[in-house]
Amino acid sequence: MTYTVVQLVLFAAFAVGIYIFVTGTFDIDATESDGAGALNAAEQGFANLRTGLIVLYAILLVLIPIASFLMARAALTPLQKSYDLQQRFVDGASHEMRSPLSVIQGELELALLTPRTPAEYERAIQTALDAVGGLTELTNDLLLISRGAGAELKRTYELVDLNDLVRLDIDARSSNPEDAHRLYVKLGQATVVLGSPALLARAIANVIDNALKFTTPPGIVTVSTDIHNSICTVTIRDTGIGMDNDDLKHAFDRFWRSDQARSRPGHGVGLSLVQQIIHAHDGRITLTSQVGVGTTVTVNLPLRP
């Protein structure tokens, strides 16, 4: 309605301005000297001008509301999409935070309900502490996602060898024999990129975590690096449960989890965070999968000499 009113007022002012300009600049004295016929012709011309402007304005009364509606819808569509994404984000975050908070509250209330043995208190505290750890991890992920790929973030970038990040991640998992025995590493030549070591390490760790989570023994997870056409590639391939085409469409959606994944720990922000980190480094991440065969995640980043 606002678009319509503004445009109609402008067109009305424009039409009135044309009429005033034409009638104001017309030489009445010269027409009178030419005779009554010339004067009548001039008056008829003014009448035709008024009629034409009125008809045009009537047509605009029909067309402008339609055009205004289309313009308003086009202007509001990105805002509506942004609002929907924000609403889903808030709903998902609220849901994911509610679960660990409920665990913490339940354990503490149960511990205070009646006197317990030291072992029972220790178990309740440990359960609550694990829930706090998961909540802290989720909060950190959300903060990383909110940082985006702005200039401030890129100013912190430095030269990073992806091989070093993979080695550090594998070394950190050596304390867990079950994971260590299922990991195979094939490192190529130095894969140096420009980026944030902390964020890239988090991206690699998240993908490996997912691969291990959905690959039950004796399945294996292979991590390899390579360089091709000035592109550094990190490939994480597992022999896990895999995903169907519908799951692949939503794999990078924030807080989305497949039916098979709901029975396993996690918040559904891992791959979403990885995608945002890789995009912030001008890279690309692709995912291929087949049910019962496994999943392959490929991360491509531009090489920096």
0.75 exceeded by pTM = no
What pLDDT does 147 receive?
Answer: 59
Whole-number pLDDT of residue 226 = 94
Name the CA dihedral angle for 13, 16, 18, 24, rounded to a multiple of 10 degrees: -130
Closest C-alpha among 65, 91, 76, 93 to residue 1? 65
What is d(CA 108, CA 133) in angstroms, rounded to the nearest whole number? 16
Mean per-residue pLDDT of the chain: 80
Among 43-47, 208-212, 224-228, the minimum mean pLDDT is found in 43-47
- Say which range, 13-27, 28-42, 56-70, 266-280, has the weakest mean pLDDT: 28-42
Q: How many residues make up the chain in this entry?
A: 305
Mean pLDDT, range 192-219, rounded to an integer: 88
pLDDT over 70 for what percent of the chain?
A: 79
pLDDT of residue 268: 47
- Over pLDDT 90: what percentage of the chain? 20
Residue type, 73: R
Q: How confident is the model at residue 15, as a pLDDT?
A: 81
Q: Which two tokens stand for residue 119?
A: 């072992």
Question: From start to end of the chain, where are the E strands?
Answer: 158-161, 183-186, 192-195, 221-228, 231-238, 284-290, 294-302
Instruction: Tell me what the mean pLDDT of segment 19-28 comes to.
Output: 67
